[in-house]
A and B are shown apart, each in its own frame.
Chain A
Amino acid sequence: MATTPATPAPKPPAKTNRLGLPILEYRGGKTNLCAGCGHNAISERIIDAFFEMGVKPERVLKLSGIGCSSKSPAFFMSRSHGFNSVHGRMPAVATGALLGNHTMKAIGVSGDGDTVSIGMGQFVHLLRRNLPIIYVIENNGVYGLTKGQFSATADLGSKLKTGVINDLPPIDTCNLAIELGATFVGRSFSGDKRQLLAMMKAAIAHKGTVLLDVISPCVTFNDHEGSTKSYKYMQEHEEAISEVGFVPHFEDIAVDYDAGSTYDVELHDGSHLRLRKLHDDYDPTDRVQAVRALMESQVKGEVLTGVFYIDTQKPSFTDLLNLVDEPLGTLPESRVRPPKSVLDDVMQRMR
C-alpha cells in the first residue's frame, strides 16, 4: 500500500500472562468449522481462559469424540497434546489418560450427539466418578457433520430446516450432571463472552468434573425460525441465574460486589468464584434447589444460564485412587517391577 509510512511506529509489546507467554502461544490450527459457528467462539474463550489463568499449555490434555464440536481441540492450544478419539467414547480415553498422568489439566470437548446419544453410557460414568476434567458440551441440538439430524438435546417441538418437528423431550445434561455427581455444573451461551470466560476460568481452578453445557447455535442446520438453539431464540429466552464473576488466586480480590447479593466460593487453587445472585436465595451448593431451578425454567420455556451447582469438597476420582504423586506412566522400572525376591516368595507359596 502506497500510504505505508516510511518509518512504522514501534509495535506495543504483546501482552503476556504471568508465565510470560503471549496469547499467540495458546492458539491452535485454523478452524475449518462454518463461519459464525458457535463452536469457534467457545474455542476463543478456552484460549482466553487458559491464557489469562497462566496455565502452561504443555500441562493440558485436550480430548474429544467425533463430530463438529470434537474437531475443535485442533483449533486451540497447539502446544497441548490432543486426542480426537472415537464417537461418544471420549470419557473413557480421558479417564485412562488421567490415570496415566493425573498431574495434567484435562479439557474435553464434545457435542450433544457425541455426549447424550452415542456417548451417554460413558458420559454418566464420568460424572459419577467426578473425573477431574472440564467437560464442555457444544450444544446445538443437531448433528452437523452428517447434515442436520436431530440430537437428543433438541427441544420438544423444535423444527429442523427440512420442516421436521421434534416430538421427543430433550435430555438436560445439567440436571443429569447434578444428579450423578459432577461437582461444577453450569450452562452458558457461546455468544455470551463475559459469562462464558468467567465460567471457563473458574472451571480451570476447580478439581473434579466440570460440566459446562454451552448452547452453541449451528449456523448451517439449526439457526432458523422454529429452532430453539438459534442465536435469535437464545437472545430472547436466555435468563441468567446469576452473574458470574471470577477472581484468580494470583489477583487481589476486588471488592466490587454488594456483599448482600453475592455468593462466594473458594476453589481448589485458592481462586474465587463470585456469583451475583439474580434469583433470590439461590444457593449453588444446594443440589435440590439447583435441579428445581432447572426444571422450572424448562417449564417456562426459558434457558437458564450460570453456575447451578458447585461442590469443592468431594474428592475427585484420581484422589480416590490414592496414587503416588508422580505420573504412573513415567514411573521408573525400580518402582513398578518388584524385585526377584518377590517372585521367589510367590513361587515358594505355590509349591
Chain B
Amino acid sequence: MATGDLALKAEQPRAAAGQPGEVVNDFSIQVATVNGSGSQSANNVLLKSIFGMGIPISGKNLFPSNIAGLPTWYTIRASKHGYIARKKEIDIVVAMNAETSKDDILSLPAGGVAIYEEAANLKQYRDDVVCYPVPFDKITATVCPEAKLRKLVKNMVYVGVISQLLDMDLATVEAALRRQFAKKQKAADLNWAAVQAGYDYAKTSLVKQDPFRVERMHANEGKIIIEGNAATALGCMFAGVTVVTWYPITPSSSVVENLIDLLKKYRVEPSGKATFAVVQAEDELAAVGMVLGAGWTGARAMTATSGPGISLMAEFTGLGYFAEIPAVIFDIQRVGPSTGMPTRTAQGDILSVAFLSHGDTRHVMLLPGSVKECFEMSVGAFDLAEQLQTPVFVLSDLDLGMNNWMTEPFTYPEKPMQRGKVLSAEDLTRLGGFARYKDVDGDGVGYRTLPGTDHPQAAFFTRGSGHNERALYTERPDEYQQQMERLTRKFENARKMVPAPVAVVNGTSKIGLIAYGTSDFAVTESREQLKAEYKLETDYLRIRAYPFTVEIHEFVAEHDRVYIIEQNRDAQMLSLLKLDLPAADATKLRSVRHYNGLPIDARSVTDELVMQEGI
C-alpha cells in the first residue's frame, strides 16, 4: 500500500456530521496482529458491536498462509451510506504487532489515528496522526492473573479502548461479547473484564483528539452477519444435498466444515441414521470423481475447492460434460497462478472453469455477488445441474467466502427440488424403452435412468468415449457430430435457465459498467463517486451466470463504451464476452482490472475509469 497515495487522498475534506469537524459512522479500522494470537474473537466482538449500534459494517480478514507467527490484519469498515467494499484509506490503526507497527503507522493518512503499545513509541515516526499509546501488557496483567491467557485477553483490551474513543454504547459491546462466548461463561467474564479495563484506561488516561465517532443508527434491523462459505453451506443443505466430497484447500474448506455441522444437526433421522454422506477424499481428482459417481446414481452431489483443485478436476469435469452427469462444484477463488497467494482473493478462474477440460467442453457457471446469493445460487445450482444433466460451477471467492457480511435473512426456497428428466420403471413400461442421448424435447436434454431402476430396459452404458443417442460406442463421424450439436443446443438452452443479470440503468448514460461477484461492492460505491466528484453518470449490469443471457447482449448494444471491471490480470470476463458478442459490440469493451490480492476498492475503480475516460 503506497502511503503517499493514501496521504494525498486524506487531504480531501472529511464529510462533517454531528459536531463540526466530527466524522460520524464513516471510517475504517485496521487491527494489525500476529497470526495465531487469538485476535479473531476480539475483532468479531468489535465488528458485531458496531453492527449492534445499527451502523452498516463490513469486516475483512487479511491473513497469511501460516498457522502462527506471521502478520495478519483485520479491517472493519463502518459506513452510514451502506458501502461494504474494502476502503482503500485506513482511518484508525490498532498496531498490536511489534514487527509491523512501524509500517502500520506509516500507512495512515494525515489525520489518521494510531492506537499502539506504549513501549513501541510509534509517535516518533509521525507527527501528523493522532497517537494513543496504551500500556496493553500492564492492563492485561491486572485483569488476567493467568499468564498463558494474557496473549488472548490482551486483544479485548483494544476493543475496550476503541469503544471508549468512538463513544460506543457499552451495553451493546457487552451483548456482542456475551454472544461470542455464549457457551463459555468463564471466558466471557474474563474477556469482559479486559474490555472494561481498556475502556476505563481510555476514559481516564487518553484525551480524545480525533474526529471519529459512532452514533446509533437503525440500518441493520432484521439483518444477520454471515460468512459466504457458511451461506453456501446452508444453501447446499436446503438444496437437499446427499453426497459431499472434498479435499481441504483454502479458502474453500469452511464450506464443507460448515456443511458437516449443519448436516449432523439437521439431517440425521430419528433412527440415528444419516440422509447424507460426507467423504474427505484423497485428492481433488477423487473428490470430483466421487461426485460424478454419486450424480450418476441420482444423488445431489457436490464438492468445494479452489484454483489448484479446479486444475486437477479438469479431466473428470470433461467426462461430466460429455457423459452428461449432474454435479455441483464450488470454486472459492484465490490468487493464482500455481499456489499463488492462497489466502488472498481474486476472480481468476473464469476462463479456465468456462472451458475446463480438453476438447469442446463448456460449463455452466453461477457467480454469486453477495452472501444471500451464495445461499440462493447453491440451491439453484443443484436444480440446474439435474435439469441440464451437467456439472454446474459456482464461483465465489475468498473475499466473499471467508469474510463476514451483513445481509437480509435468507428466504426459504419457494420451488420444490427440480430433479430433471429421470425415467421410472413405470415410464419405461409405458414407453417400451428409451434412448439415453436422444433429444426428444428439442432442448438438447435427454432422458436418463438411475442405476437400480427395476426394469430390464432401464440400463444404459455411460462412457466418456464416443457414443450415439442410444449410448452405444461409436466412432462414426455423423453420430459424434450429432451428439456434439445436441450438447450445443443444450448449452444454448441453458442461457434461458441461468440467473439473469441485475441491471441498474437510468436510460440516458452512454457508459456502461459490467462487473460480477465481489467486484459489485466497489463498483456500486464507485458509481456514486463518479457522479458526485466527476458528474459522470453510468449504467451498471452485474453478470450472475455463464452462458450469458440475452440481457447482457442488449446492455452492450445499448451503450457506447462498456467497462468490464474484474479482479484478474487478463480481463477474463471481457474475453469470454468477446467470444459471445457480435463483432461490432465486442469493440466497445474496455477493461478495469484489479489483481494485487486485496479485494477491489471503489477508489481504484473510480481513478481508473476517470483516467480511461480522459476526464
Q: Is B464 an interface residue (CB 8 A)?
A: yes
* Of the residues B276, B281, B449, contact of A92 by C-beta under 8 Å: B281
* Given A104-B297, A122-B289: A81 and B412 interface contact (C-beta under 8 Å): no
B275 near A121 with CB under 8 A, answer: no
* Of the residues B238, B243, B453, B454, contact of A337 by C-beta under 8 Å: B238
Q: Is B16 an interface residue (CB 8 A)?
A: no
B282 near A122 with CB under 8 A, answer: yes
Q: Is A113 an interface residue (CB 8 A)?
A: no
Q: A-facing mask of B451-463, CB < 8 A → 1, else 0?
A: 1111110111111
Chain B residue with the shortest CB-CB distance to A78 = B459
Count A interface residues, CB 8 Å.
57
B315 near A86 with CB under 8 A, answer: yes
B289 near A336 with CB under 8 A, answer: no
**Given the complex, which residues of B lie within 8 Å of A340, measured CB to CB?**
412
A84 to B296, CA, bound (A): 12
Q: Is A97 an interface residue (CB 8 A)?
A: yes
Q: Is A324 an interface residue (CB 8 A)?
A: yes
A328 near B452 with CB under 8 A, answer: no
B245 near A96 with CB under 8 A, answer: yes
**Given the complex, which residues of B lie within 8 Å of A322, measured CB to CB?**
272-274
Chain A residue with the shortest CB-CB distance to B471 = A82
**Given the complex, which residues of B lie within 8 Å of A330, measured CB to CB?**
298, 450, 452
* Given A329-B298, A338-B267: A350 and B226 interface contact (C-beta under 8 Å): yes
A84 near B234 with CB under 8 A, answer: no
B291 near A324 with CB under 8 A, answer: no
Q: Is B563 an interface residue (CB 8 A)?
A: no
A321 near B274 with CB under 8 A, answer: yes
**B residues 297-318 touching A (CB-CB < 8 Å):** 297-301, 315-316
**Given the complex, which residues of A lie within 8 Å of B275, measured CB to CB?**
323-324, 328, 331, 335-336
Q: Is A83 an interface residue (CB 8 A)?
A: yes
* Given A86-B315, A97-B451, A323-B274: A329 and B297 interface contact (C-beta under 8 Å): yes
A333 near B461 with CB under 8 A, answer: no
B459 near A58 with CB under 8 A, answer: yes
Name the prevailing secondary structure of the B interface residues: loop
A58 near B454 with CB under 8 A, answer: yes
Q: Is B237 an interface residue (CB 8 A)?
A: yes
B293 near A83 with CB under 8 A, answer: yes
A323 near B273 with CB under 8 A, answer: yes
**B residues 310-353 touching A (CB-CB < 8 Å):** 315-316, 319
B461 near A86 with CB under 8 A, answer: no
- Which of A8-16, A155-163, A341-349 sits within the interface? A341-349
Nearest Cβ on chain B to A152's Cβ, whole angstroms: 19
**Given the complex, which residues of B lie within 8 Å of A92, measured CB to CB?**
281, 285-290, 292-293, 316
Chain B residue with the shortest CB-CB distance to A125 = B282
A96 to B288, CA, bound (A): 9
**Given the complex, which residues of A lie within 8 Å of B472, measured CB to CB?**
29
Q: Is B294 an interface residue (CB 8 A)?
A: yes
Q: Is A100 an interface residue (CB 8 A)?
A: yes
Nearest Cβ on chain A to B442's Cβ, whole angstroms: 26
A327 near B298 with CB under 8 A, answer: yes
Q: Give the A-B contact count at a CB cut-off of 8 A.
A: 221
**Given the complex, which residues of B lie within 8 Å of A58, measured CB to CB?**
452-456, 458-459
Q: Is A94 an interface residue (CB 8 A)?
A: yes
* Given A83-B293, A89-B316, A96-B296: A343 and B285 interface contact (C-beta under 8 Å): no
Chain A residue with the shortest CB-CB distance to B456 = A79
B238 near A101 with CB under 8 A, answer: no
Q: Is B277 an interface residue (CB 8 A)?
A: yes
**Given the complex, which residues of A lie within 8 Å of B273, measured CB to CB?**
322-325
* Given A101-B451, A328-B277, A330-B450: A338 and B285 interface contact (C-beta under 8 Å): no
Q: Is A95 an interface residue (CB 8 A)?
A: yes
Q: Is A59 an interface residue (CB 8 A)?
A: yes
A85 near B464 with CB under 8 A, answer: yes
* Given A91-B286, A329-B298, A343-B238: A99 and B277 interface contact (C-beta under 8 Å): yes
Q: Is B119 an interface residue (CB 8 A)?
A: no
Q: Is B187 an interface residue (CB 8 A)?
A: no
Q: Is B17 an interface residue (CB 8 A)?
A: no
Nearest Cβ on chain A to B287's Cβ, whole angstroms: 8
B266 near A81 with CB under 8 A, answer: no
Q: Is B146 an interface residue (CB 8 A)?
A: no
* Of the residues B240, B282, B298, contact of A101 by C-beta under 8 Å: B298
Q: A-facing mask of B243-260, CB < 8 A → 1, else 0?
A: 101000000000000000
Nearest Cβ on chain A to B401's Cβ, whole angstroms: 16
Q: Is A103 an interface residue (CB 8 A)?
A: yes
A102 to B112, CA, bound (A): 62
A96 to B451, CA, bound (A): 13
Q: B-facing mask of A87-116, CB < 8 A → 1, else 0?
A: 001011111111111011000000000000
**Given the complex, which residues of B lie within 8 Å of A63, measured CB to CB?**
293
A338 to B288, CA, bound (A): 26
A121 to B412, CA, bound (A): 41
Query: Would you mind naming 29 contact pairs between A and B with Cβ atoms under 8 Å apart?
Result: A78-B459, A81-B451, A81-B458, A81-B461, A82-B462, A85-B289, A86-B316, A86-B464, A89-B285, A92-B281, A92-B285, A92-B292, A97-B293, A97-B294, A100-B294, A121-B283, A122-B286, A323-B274, A323-B275, A323-B277, A327-B297, A328-B275, A328-B277, A329-B450, A337-B413, A338-B266, A343-B234, A347-B410, A351-B224
List 12 other contacts, CB 8 Å, given A58-B455, A84-B463: A61-B297, A74-B473, A125-B282, A323-B273, A329-B294, A329-B297, A331-B242, A336-B267, A336-B300, A338-B238, A338-B267, A347-B409
6 A-B pairs with least C-beta separation: A96-B293, A92-B289, A329-B298, A100-B297, A96-B290, A336-B240
Instruction: Give chain B's interface residues, CB within 8 Å of chain A.
Output: 222-226, 234, 237-243, 245, 262, 266-267, 269, 271-277, 279, 281-283, 285-301, 315-316, 319, 409-410, 412-413, 416-417, 449-456, 458-465, 472-473
